[in-house]
Chains A and B, each alone.
Chain A
Amino acid sequence: MAGKIATRNAYGETLVELAEKYPELVVLDADLSGSTMTKFFAAAYPQRFFNCGIAECNMAGIAAGMAADGLKPFINSFAMFSTGRIYEQIRNSIAYPHLNVKVVGSHGGVSVGEDGATHQCIEDFALMRAIPGMLVCCPCDGNEMRLAVRALMDYEGPAYLRLQRLATEVFTDELEGYSFTLGKGSVLKDGSDVSIIATGLMVSKALQAAEILEAEGIHARIINIHTLKPLDDELVLKAARETGCIVTSEEHSIIGGLGSAVSELLIEKCPVPVVRHGVNDEFGRSGTAAAVLDYFDLTPEGIVRKAKYALSLKK
């Protein structure tokens, strides 16, 4: 294990590492550079960092104009604001003209913790997925984040990248055969009884859930989906055909995110029971990150319960 790091830190460090190779990279923030970790880039490349103040809509437009001129802008704020507040600017000024802007949402999900529901974005996947041509990516640890940022730098077109506030253990660097390709998921553990498809923070919890299930004789396949859109249809369909039931797990509303993406695919191509694990149709709440995740059952035990329910539907 490489220790703990928040994906937001891995992101901020990677931007700096890539700055020399990509002179067209510019970074915009809306007065949250100390939290989104663009402060590293701001300190290293002040002439390519643009603090737009507390005005996210304008930041999106500025980035669109810059991208129209061949720059590669990354715009940053909390996911709540960088997707929710400025949804329409992203849709009309960035995505409709298919401009090469990377929209970055730090502090995604409920693990934001103490700040509470106003700052806990559980709708960002839903909002960004609904926009035509928008890529949606949510890496599961610091290592995957570094790979994702590198890949996005070479990806031409609008994309959304979710970052986590919470520092978590890095584990993908030690997984045998692990590699990262945008739009491709990966099987982290094979299994034949049920497939647990997870994204972001829930991936490591899904691996823990698999151990609990294994001890009970249930062989769960664990699939990491960092790119929610375009979804790795092939991998999901294979899991449905081979294991016959699916659990999706995400730190997001069960409406519109990974669970919806998987369900939409399977209902048309291979209808099997799909149980969605995430935040039910309700707002977040204050508490430490761990307490809030517990409250919403976003734990390995929560995944185990959903997996058993999925198995009961499989017959």
Chain B
Amino acid sequence: MAKLYGKDLQLMAARARLLAVDAVHTAASGHPGGSLSCMDIVTALYFNEMKVEPANPRWKDRDRFVLSKGHCAPALYSVLALRGYFPVGDLKLLRSIEGHISGHPDMQHVPGVDMSTGSLGQGLSTAVGMALAAKLKAQDHRCYALCGDGEVEEGQIWEAAMAAAKWHLDNLCVFVDVNGLQIDGRTADVMPSEPLDKKFEAFNWNVIKIDGHDFDQILSALDSARSFKGAPTAILASTVKGKGVSFMEGQAGWHGKAPNDEQFAQAKAELEAKIKELEGN
């Protein structure tokens, strides 16, 4: 598959957003807010940055991705489906007793999922392990992880951050989806995690701050992460929770709530309009 850029990435992300909201609505359960905030990042990874072979999900030389904030599975699943790992129709079975699309990423049953996650704070450590394994075996694939800015309240994230710097894992790149909100409200109120740039710098990481909805900035940050040697890179991506659905944007209440039929109709109309606009240009 040819890499996507610019408007094509925006269009793919808009389609993925619609699939994710549709799946959460159908399941009547799930986490739309954070899924929408990280969708541009996940889309950029799978449709531009990462070396992957959807027909061969366990290809040993593939780049790895760990969705450390596993509750945003609807984002990962939608992008994996669009990328061809499994049929888009399977998304209708999200969180259902039927099928294989569990509530949180399950590497044993969902093609393309590189690590089972869901319990916050643990995914980054597993990505560190993958990056270490690659170094040990002299393999040159890269490992990516995505954390939430609420998730980094977990102490294990900082244990992993120390370890990644100790072993100079320049084949590891973590995005922090800084949407400023968590279940109980503003991250700044629940447990202030800023300044994240100074924290990661103090842990001896290469730090890049970007707008997490600007594909030029996402791709350029990934380029510089790839060329940075001797330390892992943290890309702190400023995002909007619920991005792309007007009534969900910036609302902590949409962290883990499914839209009702009426709300879904509105979300669908907004996202379809966005898709149409992007297709038209």
Contact = CB atoms under 8 A, between A and B. Distances in A.
- A, B in one complex: yes
Interface of A: 26, 47-48, 50, 52-53, 55, 57-71, 73, 88-89, 92-93, 96-98
A26 B114 CA distance: 20
Given A26-B136, A71-B136, A88-B119, A98 B129 contact: no
B116 A62 contact: no
Interface stretch (B16-24, B120-128, B203-211, B257-265): B120-128
A178 to B, nearest CB: 37
A65 B108 contact: no
B122 A66 contact: no
Given A61-B160, A65-B127, 19 more contacts: A52-B163, A53-B166, A57-B121, A58-B125, A58-B163, A61-B122, A62-B132, A62-B160, A64-B125, A65-B133, A66-B129, A66-B130, A68-B107, A71-B133, A89-B125, A92-B119, A93-B125, A97-B107, A98-B108
**A-B pairs with the 6 shortest C-beta distances?**
A65-B129, A61-B125, A58-B159, A55-B159, A62-B129, A65-B126
Interface in B112-160: 114-119, 121-134, 136-137, 155-156, 159-160
A313 B159 CA distance: 53
Given A57-B159, A61-B160, A62-B128, A92 B116 contact: yes
B206 to A, nearest CB: 20
19 contacts: A57-B159, A61-B124, A61-B126, A62-B125, A62-B128, A62-B129, A62-B163, A65-B66, A65-B115, A65-B125, A66-B129, A66-B132, A67-B129, A68-B114, A71-B133, A71-B136, A93-B126, A97-B107, A97-B115
Given A89-B122, A98-B108, A58 B160 contact: yes
Contacts of A53: 159, 162-163, 166
A88 B167 CA distance: 25
A26 B166 CA distance: 17
A97 B134 CA distance: 20
The residue in B126, B132, B136, B166 that gathers the most chain A C-beta atoms within 10 A of its C-beta is: B126
Interface residues of B, number: 35
Interface in B78-123: 106-108, 114-119, 121-123
B163 A93 contact: no
Given A57-B125, A61-B125, A64-B126, A96 B132 contact: no
A50 B126 CA distance: 14
Contacts of B131: 65
A69 B60 CA distance: 8
A68 B126 contact: yes
B177 to A, nearest CB: 19
A86 B280 CA distance: 53
A55 B162 contact: yes
A122 B127 CA distance: 32
A304 B156 CA distance: 47
A37 B66 CA distance: 32
Given A92-B119, A98-B108, A62 B136 contact: no
B129 A68 contact: yes
The residue in A26, A50, A65, A71 that gathers the most chain B C-beta atoms within 10 A of its C-beta is: A65
A66 B133 contact: yes
Nearest to B137: A69
Interface string B155-181: 110011011001100000000000000
Contacts of B66: 65
B163 A92 contact: no
B115 A64 contact: yes
Contacts of B163: 52-53, 55, 58, 62
A64 B107 contact: no
The residue in B60, B114, B125 that gathers the most chain A C-beta atoms within 10 A of its C-beta is: B125
Contacts of B126: 61-62, 64-65, 68, 93
Contacts of B122: 57, 61, 89, 92-93
Contacts of B123: 61
A310 B131 CA distance: 55
A63 B115 CA distance: 12
The residue in B129, B130, B163 that gathers the most chain A C-beta atoms within 10 A of its C-beta is: B129
A67 B126 CA distance: 9
A26 B136 CA distance: 10
A64 B129 contact: yes
Contacts of A26: 136
A73 B125 CA distance: 14
A300 B122 CA distance: 44
B232 to A, nearest CB: 13
Contacts of A69: 129-130, 133-134, 137
Contacts of B160: 58, 61-62
Contact of B136 (A48, A57, A63, A92): A48
Nearest to B121: A57
A89 B106 CA distance: 15
The residue in B108, B116, B119, B134 that gathers the most chain A C-beta atoms within 10 A of its C-beta is: B116
The residue in A50, A58, A97 that gathers the most chain B C-beta atoms within 10 A of its C-beta is: A58
A63 B125 CA distance: 9
Nearest to B130: A65
